[in-house]
A = this chain, B = another copy of it.
Amino acid sequence: MAPSRHDAATPDPVDGAGRVAVVLLSGGLDSAVTLAWMRASGFHCAALSFDYGQRHRVELECAARVARSLGIVDHRVVPVDLRTFGGSALTADIAVPKDRDVVSAHDIPVTYVPARNTIFLAMALGLAEVLEARDLALGVNALDYSGYPDCRPEFVQAFERLANRATKAGVEAIAAGTKGFRIHAPLLHLSKTEIIGLGARLGVDFGLTSSCYDPGVDGAPCGRCDSCQLRAHGFAEAGLRDARAG
């Protein structure tokens, strides 16, 4: 599974050694840092984004810019309309909560999209198998998003286990006594402040990313949703200026 907290502080180019990895890229801050991390860890990265009917669709433009800025040649955007299901403030006509006390909140908020990370990782697994990649990465973290079940270590471990039973590549790897698929979640145990510090060290241009759940028509962040609040809190604690908010 994911590298330990210690590993996450210093990517080692020997880890990837030129192997191909599929990285989920939303256009937000966390996935940008994850992509930079995987690149610094020596992986050749293919980035995968989803046009899933999210109200913050501006993040797809951000994803394209982030991919370009990090020199990623293979960036795919897969349309998969999760509005068919509804059930979330991000995909249905449910108001995005504003001005919550997000730092101390620990419930599962209405911005939770049912099974979203499972769906996205399943698609990444399909692409990885086609590209003959055995490494997948995503920018989940369990600290600031403890409310989302699919951002916890238990989820990442269970998906890695599934990946090696669900696929031709995984089954063949296990039969050959090799590791098979590995799910990298380098931010899993980091706070937003630590993620921002890590991204700054890796040269991520935060001004290209968008975290807001409910941006204006011009793409400007609302500044009041959970995600905007967590981002502002992280930048303040890290003592850095947020180019996106500025």
Contact = CB atoms under 8 A, between A and B. Distances in A.
Given A78-B84, A81-B79, A84-B78, A166 B118 contact: yes
Interface string A112-151: 1111111101110111011000000000000000000110
A115 B123 contact: yes
Contacts of A154: 165
Given A149-B168, A165-B154, A167-B150, A118 B122 contact: yes
Contacts of A162: 118, 155, 158-159, 161-162
A80 interface: yes
A87 interface: yes
A82 to B, nearest CB: 7
Contacts of A121: 122
Contacts of A152: 165
A165 B161 contact: no
Nearest to A152: B165
A179 interface: no
For the complex of A and B, list the 5 residue pairs with the smallest distance between their C-beta atoms, beginning with the closest. Answer: A87-B130, A115-B126, A114-B129, A122-B122, A158-B162
Interface of A: 76, 78-82, 84-87, 108, 112-119, 121-123, 125-127, 129-130, 149-150, 152, 154-155, 158-159, 161-163, 165-168, 170-171
17 contacts: A78-B81, A79-B81, A87-B126, A114-B129, A114-B167, A114-B168, A115-B123, A115-B166, A115-B167, A117-B166, A119-B122, A119-B123, A119-B125, A149-B170, A150-B167, A158-B166, A161-B161
